[in-house]
């Protein structure tokens, strides 16, 4: 089977699973945006998934993202940055990035704000929260997240649109539920104080249905669309 038809098949399946997961909890599937995570996959995979109707593309590495952005050159695409962002790399993506999911410090937010002012655009960001307390993970500590969100919201040129997290990478998707619930509760608590945070970016191939169940509005999915990243 051609790679492109495999992608179409996989997407059909994922859209069905998103729809059923939404139905089970009385949510509208239109509230949920599917981001195709294309790290390590080719430019052609990006073109295929866009042709199949998914225009939100997520990448983890600035270098790879820049290259693919330059090569694919498709104005329909909304590019999402979902990896760890170093301040000195912001300039390479600042002009065209749609949403940065991984702001986890005030320093990084200040640098993004500086670039936003310099180029005269507003940058939409999410605050990444470490909900598993694993040392290996990035993201602001859950205890510090509320004040970080409020501090970032004060910066010029920066629009804090919501929160992002990753589950614990365990085989049972239910093991991600505490993380996702924690993120939703943080959003609700901040919103009760008047901070608007419409986006919850959570859920990957292994746990996206649980994420929908807990209120995800953006899913970041790679493997289920493109197949395993492990190269032989
Ligand atoms: C790779 C990655 C994903 C997608 O993971 P899959 O398991 O392939 O769906 C989502 N979010 C982040 C931050 C990632 O690095």
Distance from the alpha carbon of residue 141 to the mean position of ligand 1, in angstroms: 20
Contact assessment for residue 223 and residue 36, using Cβ atoms and an 8 Å cutoff: no
Mean pLDDT of 186-208: 98
pLDDT band at 145; cut points 50, 70, 90: very high
pLDDT of residue 232: 41
Mean pLDDT of 202-227: 98
Distance from the alpha carbon of residue 218 to the mean position of ligand 1, in angstroms: 12
How many Å apart are CA 109 and CA 121, to the nearest integer?
Answer: 14
pLDDT of residue 4: 86
Residues with CB under 6 Å of ligand 1 are: 37, 39, 60, 82, 166, 204-206, 220-224
- Which of 61, 204, 224 has the most ligand 1 atoms within 8 A of CB, as the residue to mutate? 204
Q: Are strands 99-103 and 158-164 parallel, antiparallel or unpaired?
A: unpaired
2-226: CATH, from 3.20.20.140, 3.40.50.1820, 3.40.50.970, 3.20.20.10: 3.20.20.10
In the chain, pLDDT over 90 holds for what percent of residues?
Answer: 94
DSSP-assigned states of every residue in 25-94: TT--GGG-EEEEE-TTS-HHHHHHHHHTT--EEEES-HHHHHHHHHHH--TT-EEEE-SPPPGGGHHHHT
The interaxial angle of helices 3-24 and 43-51, nearest 10 deg, is 50
Distance from the alpha carbon of residue 194 to the mean position of ligand 1, in angstroms: 31
Residue nearest to atom 13 of ligand 1 (CA): 82
Per-residue pLDDT reduced to its tens digit, 13-54: 999 999 999 999 999 999 999 999 999 999 999 999 999 999
- Which of 7, 34, 37 has the most ligand 1 atoms within 8 A of CB, as the residue to mutate? 37
Per-residue pLDDT reduced to its tens digit, 97-134: 999 999 999 999 999 999 999 999 999 999 999 999 88
pLDDT of residue 1: 64
pLDDT band at 136; cut points 50, 70, 90: confident
127: nearest Cα among 69, 190, 175: 190
What is the reported pTM? Answer: 0.97
How many Å apart are CA 199 and CA 186, to the nearest integer?
Answer: 12
pLDDT of residue 188: 98
Domain locations along the chain: 2-226
Distance from the alpha carbon of residue 109 to the mean position of ligand 1, in angstroms: 23
Per-residue pLDDT reduced to its tens digit, 63-95: 999 999 999 999 999 999 999 999 999 999 999
């Amino acid at each position: 089977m051609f790679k492109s038809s495999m992608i179409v098949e996989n997407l059909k399946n994922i859209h069905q699973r998103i729809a059923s997961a939404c139905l089970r909890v009385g949510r509208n599937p239109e509230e949920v945006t599917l981001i195709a995570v294309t790290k390590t996959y080719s430019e052609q995979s990006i073109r295929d998934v866009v042709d199949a109707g998914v225009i939100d593309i997520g990448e983890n590495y600035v270098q790879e993202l820049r290259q693919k952005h330059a090569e694919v050159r498709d104005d329909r695409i909304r590019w999402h940055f979902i990896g760890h962002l170093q301040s000195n790399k912001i300039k390479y993506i600042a002009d065209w990035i749609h949403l940065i999911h991984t702001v986890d410090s005030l320093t990084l937010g200040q640098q993004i704000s500086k670039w936003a002012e310099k180029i005269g655009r507003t940058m939409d960001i999410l605050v990444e929260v470490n909900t598993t307390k694993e040392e290996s993970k990035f993201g602001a500590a859950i205890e510090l997240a509320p004040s970080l969100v409020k501090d970032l919201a004060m910066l010029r040129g920066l629009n804090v649109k919501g929160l992002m997290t990753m589950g614990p990478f365990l085989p049972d998707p239910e093991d991600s539920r505490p993380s996702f619930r924690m993120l939703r509760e943080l959003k609700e608590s901040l919103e009760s104080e008047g901070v608007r945070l419409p986006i919850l970016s959570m859920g990957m191939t292994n746990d996206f249905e649980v994420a929908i169940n807990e209120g995800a509005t953006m899913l970041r999915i790679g493997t289920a669309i493109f197949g395993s990243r492990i190269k032989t």
